[in-house]
Amino acid sequence: MVHARDRSGERQWGPGRFRVTSSSDQGFVQVSRRNPRAFAFSNGTPFFAVGEDMCWGGERGSYDYDTWLPKLAKAGGNWIRIWMCSWNCALEWTKEPHGDWRSGDYHGLGVYSLSNAWKLDHILDTAAANHIWVMLCFGTYGELASGGYFNEGQWKANPYNAANGGPCAGPDDFWTNPRARALYRRRLRYIAARYGWRTNIHSWELWNEIPADTPAKVAWHAEMAQFLKGTGAFKGQPADAFHHLLTTSYGSDAVWRMPEYDFTQTHSYGVGTTPDFAPVVHADAVSFARFPKPHLMSEFGIDWRKSDRDYDPKGMGINLHNAIWAAAASGDAGTAMIWYWDNYVDPLNLYGQYTPISRFAHRIPWTTGVWKALSFDPPRMEHGPFHATDLVLPTVAEWGKPRTSTFTLTPATTASQIQLPGYLFGPAKPDLRADITLRVERERPGELIVHVDTVSDRARLRILVDGRVALDHVLSAAPAEPHEYQTTDFRKEWNIYQAHFNRDYSVAIPAGTHTITLQNTEGDWMSISSVTLTAFHSSRFPDVNLWGLTTGSFAFCWVQNAAHNWINVANQRPIPILTGVSTRIHGLRPGRYLVEWWDTASGRITRREYARAGASGLPILVPDLKADTAALIRSARE
């Protein structure tokens, strides 16, 4: 019997018969039962996401996907992200234009655009035909905002806006207004009913980049998740009968702890000064390992303001390459997902970057059990002569109070091991403030150099060495003569000046063990692009990124010459080949192992060798390292 009910009444069919036949479909993507930080199909087959954002079409609209998706699939990709926004596949929006971004026919609040729904059907059909799974995002922060750097604020055209006949006097009302919540639940029910049968829907994403940072937003995210999953007040009545994975961005600790949210995710961008996103991706993965769920970095880019193509016009793809390999080696459930799909990946034909990681990932038994991070002895080079070099520590330009602000630095420390916060906040932002503390062990005297990039309004850089003030300097963005900044601009949206300084400020540091503190004691904020310790790092310890995972009897790792990053290549700086790099791997059971070394540019095995793990670990000698390499390590029978 089939029973159906809607606002027009009820209908019933049956009794009748139908035949169930076997299928080659592997089912829906779920969280692995054996490895809580990995994805798997219903039949248990691992699913490691390899892909990119592909959030909307370009000049050809949805037909761009007819070109993009086959290219990604041919390269080994299996995952994309699509937005349902006013300019791509949204269901409800205001009838009349308001100078906003829109594409398609709209009919106001609660009346869905069937032409856009068909458009999404077409894209999903094309994805399925190319064996690509889709994370479908239901909306973006601009819907509840005004203005913005890209003029992306669309609240004036939002059908929930009372000015357009909606129930909400302002954006904040969206989270609490009972009618708004009921209308949104109805939209969720329609989406789940129309698209939920598709096994190539990887997951639902409630929002793009709306922080769940207030009690009202947390409560809203709980309600909508429970509605989809059939828990809480909706127990036993899931809107999504197929139980697709659920996530959002930006989540919060309160959201990620909810059992209805199946995996965590982040977005990360620089301002054009981060030389390599591999350490950023790694630090992000380590941070989110505190949640026993899969994790994805579902957006990243060299600069949030403009395409990676501006920094990589020849399409070398070095930052893309390093980020996707770092994600796999750091425990993410897929590659890091590049944002600039339409103006970088496709026009420069960078799809080939996905082929090697796809081949490598298919060799890894992600769902045989729980994977843990490998540990390594500090990599060493045994040939000399050795000397002290400058340790240049780039920062991570992520807004917010840093999770870590205290760091220990020794002559064995490499730049890739440290992720310094990129902002020093002043008293104007008390909730974000955190001093940066460096505990250093210097074998010889030298300098500490802080490179200040931008100052918002006013800041005061104070550097303490062992508690004593070594530098106390005011930095002002206000127009004045003389001035230290290179340029300054008035920002109307905040009614302040922001200045680009691009200047070094230094203090002397004697030999010995010292505690150095960086503070901003006045004003708004300053951004720091790097901190340098001169004549500090021992060249005996090569600057490599070395990360990996293990089950105890199987392991893999990725080894990168950290100097091989997009900035060094773009500036044509010499990148020495690292030879004779050795280390010991810890985390494997004692025994004999086969080590397969892979060329990460081609996805081919270049060397096989055997090694024995004992109480002191598994010794490995890394092949000559111009760029990067990877190794699969599995138990070998005696």
Kindly write down the DSSP assignment for every residue of 186-215, as one continuous string: HHHHHHHHHHTT-TTEEEEE--BS----SH
| Rounded-to-integer distance, Cα 558 and Cα 297, Å | 18
Q: What's the mean pLDDT in 100-122? A: 94
pLDDT of residue 76: 98
- Can you read off the two tokens belonging to residue 470? 């070594």
Please, which residues bridge with residue 455 across strands?
499, 526
> Using an 8 Å Cβ cutoff, are 542 and 621 in contact?
no
pLDDT band of residue 304 (cuts 50, 70, 90) is very high
Q: Please check the confidence at residue 251 and state whether its pLDDT lies above 70.
A: yes
Fold for the domain defined by 51-361: TIM Barrel (3.20.20)
pLDDT (tens digit per residue) in 311-362: 999 999 999 999 999 999 999 999 999 999 999 999 999 999 999 999 999 9
User: Which of the following CATH numbers is that of domain 372-380+542-635: 3.40.50.2020, 1.10.8.640, 2.60.40.1180, 3.40.630.10?
Assistant: 2.60.40.1180
Q: What's the mean pLDDT in 440-452? A: 96
pLDDT band of residue 397 (cuts 50, 70, 90) is confident
| Rounded-to-integer distance, Cα 315 and Cα 312, Å | 5
Q: To the nearest whole number, what is the mean pLDDT of the chain?
A: 95
- Can you read off the two tokens belonging to residue 279? 């350490």
DSSP state of 424: E
Fold for the domain defined by 387-538: Jelly Rolls (2.60.120)
pLDDT band of residue 105 (cuts 50, 70, 90) is very high
| Rounded-to-integer distance, Cα 229 and Cα 234, Å | 8
| Rounded-to-integer distance, Cα 334 and Cα 479, Å | 47
Q: Please check the confidence at residue 34 and state whether its pLDDT lies above 50.
A: yes
User: ω before 347 within 30° of 0 (cis)?
Assistant: no
Q: Please check the confidence at residue 498 and state whether its pLDDT lies above 50.
A: yes
Scanning 241-337, the segments in alpha helix (DSSP H) are 253-256, 278-288, 318-330
Percentage of the chain lying above the pLDDT 90 cut: 86
Question: How many residues comprise the chain?
Answer: 638
Q: What's the mean pLDDT in 156-162? A: 97
pLDDT (tens digit per residue) in 507-555: 999 999 999 999 999 999 999 999 999 999 998 999 999 999 999 999 9
Q: What's the mean pLDDT in 273-296? A: 94
Q: Please check the confidence at residue 261 and state whether its pLDDT lies above 90.
A: yes
Q: Encode burial over 316-353: b for 16+ CB neighbours within 10 A, e otherwise.
A: ebbbbbbbbbbbbbbbbbbbbbbbbbbebbbebebbbb
**Does 14 or 516 have the greater pLDDT score?**
516
> Using an 8 Å Cβ cutoff, are 1 and 15 in contact?
yes
Q: Please check the confidence at residue 609 and state whether its pLDDT lies above 60.
A: yes
Domain boundaries, the chain: 51-361, 372-380+542-635, 387-538
pLDDT (tens digit per residue) in 188-215: 999 999 999 999 999 999 999 999 999 9
The four Cα atoms 452, 454, 458, 462 give a dihedral, to 10 degrees, of -20
Fold agreement between 51-361 and 387-538: no
Q: Please check the confidence at residue 493 and state whether its pLDDT lies above 80.
A: no
Q: What's the mean pLDDT in 411-438? A: 92
Q: Please check the confidence at residue 638 and state whether its pLDDT lies above 50.
A: no
pLDDT of residue 23: 82
pLDDT of residue 403: 82
Q: Count CA within 13 A, CB hemisphere, residue 591.
A: 15
pLDDT band of residue 384 (cuts 50, 70, 90) is low
| Rounded-to-integer distance, Cα 564 and Cα 316, Å | 12
Q: Which residue in this structure is represented by tokens 């008035």?
A: 490
Task: List, in order, residues 6 or more apart from 360 with CB less than 8 Å away.
Answer: 328, 556, 598, 600, 603, 630, 632
- Amino acid identity of residue 292, one-letter, is P
